[in-house]
Copies of this chain bind each other. A is one copy, B any other.
């Protein structure tokens, strides 16, 4: 009978209206009814991505779209620059290596953002680099990389494209794809989209399409040219995840109605209130460049971050995320994405306080919540 709460950076909690839409009887993906839905969805995606580019819709999780961007834009022996400052930066390198692409890694200390000057000098040093791979938000560390600045740098290289993993960023904070000149932007359904996992997206600029047309890496399921051709007929190349796309239509209609600025303000409100709480609890943020998607908290000395996660989940039914890779045990992460609100933030902060105290950390119960409440009171007119 325990109530469950989900504050992980994906999957996230889903609005009842979306769940009900997805629970409708399934429809066939080659029928005109589905084509109309896909047309509507494509429009909605362009609004959310702030782009005129094609936005491909793939039946996979985000990693599928990441793999697709490598295999569809590069050729055997190509070199790619990878910003590697967390688990998802590492993933770009792994994918490149799996396909024989040479990854030139810019290793960034976990918890820090990349210095854009390093990207400029790497591109200057090696004109044969065909693509730059980066995260808009590195989910494993909570870091926001300076995508706008990176976009300005890469723009100057006509043979190099910028590929941004915005899986836990798009819809959370402002990423104007066309304005910033981002060639490929990858997103996934299980983050700010407030959908279950199973859909990935990739917006492709004209500059990126030129690369795609020349790419000779092996690929079959993730075939961007085939997808573009199908999209022109309001279809997908292979069987789409029909019910997720039906849910997506609901979500995108809601986003359009509320407007992007409101969506971003919502995440800012939660993230800023969470940060105030963290400081008031005597804890430290893991990064000085935090995103609005996830608040990453350093576990106090003598407290294993994984135990915070475990106690919250097992005893109280509350799921947050622990650390990954080298941050395992050292941090815990609270997501602000999904169908959640300011008072659920209070709920999870309160639970974190109690659990930290149960694990022996000395804090004044209510101190973090009080700070968050004060921030929320000051910003009570942010809808």
Interface residues of chain A, those whose CB is within 8 Å of chain B, are 1-3, 5, 15, 254, 258, 315-318, 339-344, 346-348, 350-351, 353-354, 357-358, 364-367, 369-371, 373-374, 376-377, 380
Contact A380 B354 (CB under 8 A): yes
Complex contact B370–A370 (CB within 8 A) = yes
B344, B350, B371, B373: the one within 8 Å of A354 (CB): B373
**Closest chain B residue, CB of each to CB of A16:** B4
Q: Which residue of B has the minimal Cβ distance to A254? A: B1
Q: Which residues of B contact A258 (CB under 8 A)?
A: 1
**Which residue from chain B places its CB closest to the CB of A343 in the assembled complex?**
B347
Q: A346-B347, A347-B347 are in contact. Are A369 and B373 (CB under 8 A)?
A: yes
A-B CB proximity, top 9 nearest: A366-B370, A365-B373, A346-B350, A347-B347, A343-B347, A3-B341, A366-B373, A369-B369, A343-B351
Report B-chain residues with C-beta under 8 Å of the C-beta of A15. 1, 3
Contact, CB under 8 Å: B346 / A346? yes
Which of the residues B339, B357, B364 comes within 8 Å of A3, measured between beta carbons? B339
In the bound complex, do residue A374 and residue B366 qualify as a contact, i.e. CB atoms below 8 Å apart?
Answer: yes
Q: Which residues of B contact A377 (CB under 8 A)?
A: 354, 357-358, 365
Chain B residues with CB under 8 Å of A348's CB are 343
A-B contact pairs, 11 of them (CB 8 A): A5-B343, A317-B341, A318-B343, A346-B351, A346-B369, A350-B350, A354-B380, A365-B373, A365-B374, A366-B374, A367-B370
Let me know if B339 and A343 touch, CB within 8 A. Answer: no
B373 touches A353 (CB 8 A): yes
Instruction: Give Cα A340 to B340, complex, Å.
Output: 16
- Are the CB atoms of A340 and B3 closer together than 8 Å? yes
- Select from chain B the residue with minimum beta-carbon distance to A357: B377
Residues of B within 8 A of A374 (CB): 365-366
How far apart are the CA atoms of A350 and B3 in the complex, in Å?
A: 19
Q: Are B343 and A350 in contact (CB under 8 A)?
A: yes
Q: With A258-B1, A344-B347 given, is the CB distance from A365 to B370 under 8 Å? A: yes
Q: Which residue of B lies closest to A355 (CB)?
A: B380
Residues in B with CB closer than 8 Å to A315 are 380
Task: List chain B residues, Cβ under 8 A from A366.
Answer: 366-367, 369-371, 373-374
Instruction: Closest B residue to A371 by CB, please name it.
Output: B366
Given A343-B351, A346-B350, A370-B373 contact (CB < 8 Å): no
Q: Which residues of B contact A373 (CB under 8 A)?
A: 350, 353-354, 365-366, 369
Complex Cα spacing A258 to B2, Å? 11
A343 and B369 in contact (CB under 8 A), knowing A1-B15, A1-B254?
no
**Complex CA distance for A227 and B212, rounded to whole angstroms:** 74
Residues of B within 8 Å of A367, CB to CB, are 366, 370
